[in-house]
C-alpha cells in the first residue's frame, strides 16, 4: 500500500468526509493579506469530464470489470495516496504537472461534488453550476453576483473572460465582463488613419453612452461597447507580457498566459474565466492513448505552466484556481469505448495558499444495491459534497464576500477546508 506521507505531516489537511461541520474559516487572513490583490481563476471543462479517469480508484476491482477497454492500468497511474475512506487513488498518467503541484501541497482534490437529482444535460447542468441554483437557471451567475457586490464604480476589467461568449456564471445585473479572447487582437480599427481615426473613436465612445433604463437589451449592448472601448489601452499592455516560462502552444495554455499577463500588469482583475472543451467523450474515449489522454495532457500542461509562471513571479499566493465540469460520466463504459453522461465528479482547487490534499470519499464501484456512493441503479456516482459549498468556501474565505447572500442560501456546512 502506498499513500502519501504528506497526509499525516500536514496535520489537519487530510480528507474530510461528509457530515463534518464547517472547519475554522480563514477570513481573518483573507482580509489581512489585502483582499484587493487576490483573484480567482475559474477553469471550466466543457462537455462533462470523465472524473473517474482523472482521479482513478485503481485498486477497486470493479474499475476494471466495468471499464474493460478504457480502464487505466494500475501501474500507469500517478499515485497520490489514500483518501479518508481508505481508497487508493492515482492521477491520470498525463497529469504529471498536477502531480507535482499536489506534491507541493497546493492541489486540493474534492471528490464526489455535485447536487441532488443531478442533471445529465450539458446545457441545464452548466446553467445549474453557473447560477448555483437548481430552480432558477436562467438568471445571473454566481460569479456575476459576486462582481455585483463590489463597490461602484467598478473597474471595467474587474472580470476577464477569455472566451467569446459571456458564460452563465459571469452573467451579472450590473457588471459587464469583457470577453478578451486575445489581447493582441483586442483593438480599435478605423477606415481612416491618424487624427481621423481618433475623431471616430471619440464619436463611438459618445454614441455608446446611451444606456436607456427602459430598454435594457439596448443598454446591455451599449454598455458592453463602452466596456470594450474603455479597456482597449490597458488590455494592450497585457499583449506585451513576457512570461517567465514558455507556455504550450494551445488555446487553453495561451488563455492562461493572458491571465498571468493581466496579473503581472496589475490590471486589477478579480475573476478570470477560462474554459477548455472536448470532454464529451461518448465514443473512443482514448484514456490510455487518444482523445482523453490528450485532454489530460493539455489540462495538466497548461495549469502547470501557469503555476510555474506565477510562482516565478511571486504571484502564486494571490491566486486560487478552481477546476470543474458540469457532470461526471457513467461508471461503466458504453458500447463505443466511451462513456455517457453521469453525475457527481471531482472539483480541483489549486493556488499558493490552498491546503492541498484529497477531500471527500471516492466512489465504491461495487454493483451492490446497498452501495451508498452510487445512484441510478449503480450506474452513476452519487454526490457527497454539494458543489455550492466549494463556491461558498472560495467566496467567504478567499474573496471575503458573503456566500450566503450571493448563493441565496447557506452552503457552508460540509465545505472542504481547502482555504
> In the complex, which residues of this chain contact other proteins (CB under 8 A)?
46-47, 120-124, 161, 164-166, 176-181, 185-192, 195-196, 199-200, 202-204, 206-210, 217-218, 220-222, 224-225, 227-228, 231-232, 280, 282-283, 334-336, 338, 340-341, 376
Return the closest-CA partner of residue 389 out of 110, 117, 15, 90. 110
CA distance 2 to 158: 44
Smallest distance from the beta carbon of 229 to other proteins, in angstroms? 8
Could you tell me the three cell numbers for 43? Answer: 477553469
Task: Return the number of the residue (47 or 351) whose C-beta is nearest other proteins.
Answer: 47
CA distance 116 to 146: 24
Smallest distance from the beta carbon of 418 to other proteins, in angstroms? 30
Smallest distance from the beta carbon of 290 to other proteins, in angstroms? 11
Task: Return the number of the residue (118 or 361) whose C-beta is nearest other proteins.
Answer: 118
Task: From residue 119, give the alpha-carbon distance in Å to each of 236, 344, 408, 410.
Answer: 41, 10, 20, 22
Task: Return the number of the residue (341 or 412) whose C-beta is nearest other proteins.
Answer: 341
Task: Return the number of the residue (47 or 93) whose C-beta is nearest other proteins.
Answer: 47
Task: Return the number of the residue (83 or 380) whose C-beta is nearest other proteins.
Answer: 380
Task: From residue 229, give the alpha-carbon distance in Å to each of 165, 190, 201, 238, 310.
Answer: 17, 13, 8, 16, 29
Angle at 252 (CA atoms; ends 248, 255), nearest 5 degrees: 95
Task: From residue 191, give the alpha-carbon distance in Å to each of 19, 197, 201, 226, 339.
Answer: 63, 7, 11, 20, 51
Task: Return the number of the residue (84 or 229) whose C-beta is nearest other proteins.
Answer: 229
Pairing of strands 39-45, 385-386: unpaired
Smallest distance from the beta carbon of 198 to other proteins, in angstroms? 9
| Residue matched to cell numbers 489522454 | 293
For residue 77, count CB atoms less than 10 angstroms from its CB and return exposed for 0-12, middle for 13-18, buried for 19 or more: buried
The gap between the terminal CA atoms of the chain, to the nearest Å, is 29
Task: Return the number of the residue (60 or 340) whose C-beta is nearest other proteins.
Answer: 340
Task: Return the number of the residue (341 or 393) whose C-beta is nearest other proteins.
Answer: 341
Smallest distance from the beta carbon of 374 to other proteins, in angstroms? 15
Smallest distance from the beta carbon of 183 to other proteins, in angstroms? 10
CA distance 269 to 199: 30
| Residue matched to cell numbers 473613436 | 201
Q: b/e map of 160-180 (b: 16 or more CB within 10 Å)?
A: bbbbeebbbbbbbeebbbbbb
Smallest distance from the beta carbon of 191 to other proteins, in angstroms? 3
363 touches 382 (CB < 8 A): yes
Smallest distance from the beta carbon of 280 to other proteins, in angstroms? 8
Smallest distance from the beta carbon of 248 to other proteins, in angstroms? 20
Smallest distance from the beta carbon of 59 to other proteins, in angstroms? 26
Task: Return the number of the residue (37 or 121) whose C-beta is nearest other proteins.
Answer: 121
State yes or no: cis peptide before 153, omega within 30 of 0.
yes
Task: Return the number of the residue (2 or 377) whose C-beta is nearest other proteins.
Answer: 377
CA distance 319 to 263: 9
Give phi and psi for 56, each to the nearest 5: -105, 125
Task: Return the number of the residue (86 or 212) whose C-beta is nearest other proteins.
Answer: 212
Smallest distance from the beta carbon of 81 to other proteins, in angstroms? 34
Amino acid at each position: 500500500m502506498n499513500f502519501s506521507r504528506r497526509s499525516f505531516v500536514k496535520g489537519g489537511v487530510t480528507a474530510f468526509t461528509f457530515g463534518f461541520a464547517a472547519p475554522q474559516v480563514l477570513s481573518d487572513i483573507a482580509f489581512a493579506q489585502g483582499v484587493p490583490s487576490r483573484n480567482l481563476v475559474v477553469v471550466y471543462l466543457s462537455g462533462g469530464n470523465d472524473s473517474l479517469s482523472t482521479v482513478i480508484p485503481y485498486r477497486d476491482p470493479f474499475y476494471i470489470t466495468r471499464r474493460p477497454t478504457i480502464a487505466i492500468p494500475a501501474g500507469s497511474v500517478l499515485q497520490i495516496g489514500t483518501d479518508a475512506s481508505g481508497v487508493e487513488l492515482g492521477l491520470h498518467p498525463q497529469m504529471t504537472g498536477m502531480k507535482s503541484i499536489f506534491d507541493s501541497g497546493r492541489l486540493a482534490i474534492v471528490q464526489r461534488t455535485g447536487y441532488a437529482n443531478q442533471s445529465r444535460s450539458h446545457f441545464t447542468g452548466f446553467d445549474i453550476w453557473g447560477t448555483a441554483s437548481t430552480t432558477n437557471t436562467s438568471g445571473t451567475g454566481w460569479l456575476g453576483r459576486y462582481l455585483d457586490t463590489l463597490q461602484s464604480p467598478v473597474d471595467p476589467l474587474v472580470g476577464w473572460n477569455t472566451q467569446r461568449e459571456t458564460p452563465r456564471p459571469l452573467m451579472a445585473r450590473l457588471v459587464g465582463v469583457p470577453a478578451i479572447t486575445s489581447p493582441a487582437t483586442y483593438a480599435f480599427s478605423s477606415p481612416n488613419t491618424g487624427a481621423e481615426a481618433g475623431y471616430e473613436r471619440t464619436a463611438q465612445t459618445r454614441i455608446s453612452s446611451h444606456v436607456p433604463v427602459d430598454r435594457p437589451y439596448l443598454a446591455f449592448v451599449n454598455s458592453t461597447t463602452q466596456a470594450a472601448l474603455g479597456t482597449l489601452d490597458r488590455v494592450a499592455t497585457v499583449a506585451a507580457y513576457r512570461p517567465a516560462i514558455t507556455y504550450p502552444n494551445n488555446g487553453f495554455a495561451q488563455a492562461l498566459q493572458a491571465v498571468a499577463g493581466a496579473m503581472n500588469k496589475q490590471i486589477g482583475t478579480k475573476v478570470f474565466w477560462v474554459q477548455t472543451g472536448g470532454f464529451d467523450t461518448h465514443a473512443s474515449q482514448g484514456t490510455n492513448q487518444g482523445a482523453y489522454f490528450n485532454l489530460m495532457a493539455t489540462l495538466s500542461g497548461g495549469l502547470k505552466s501557469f503555476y510555474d509562471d506565477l510562482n516565478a513571479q511571486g504571484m502564486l499566493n494571490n491566486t486560487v484556481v478552481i477546476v470543474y465540469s458540469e457532470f461526471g460520466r457513467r461508471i461503466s463504459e458504453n458500447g463505443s469505448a466511451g462513456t455517457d453522461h453521469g453525475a457527481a465528479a471531482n472539483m480541483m482547487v489549486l493556488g499558493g495558499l490552498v491546503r492541498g490534499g484529497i477531500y471527500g470519499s471516492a466512489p465504491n464501484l461495487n454493483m451492490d444495491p446497498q452501495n451508498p456512493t452510487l445512484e441510478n441503479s449503480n450506474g452513476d456516482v452519487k454526490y457527497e459534497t454539494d458543489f455550492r459549498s466549494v463556491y461558498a468556501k472560495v467566496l467567504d474565505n478567499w474573496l471575503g464576500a458573503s456566500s450566503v447572500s450571493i448563493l441565496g442560501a447557506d452552503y457552508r456546512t460540509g465545505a472542504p477546508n481547502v482555504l
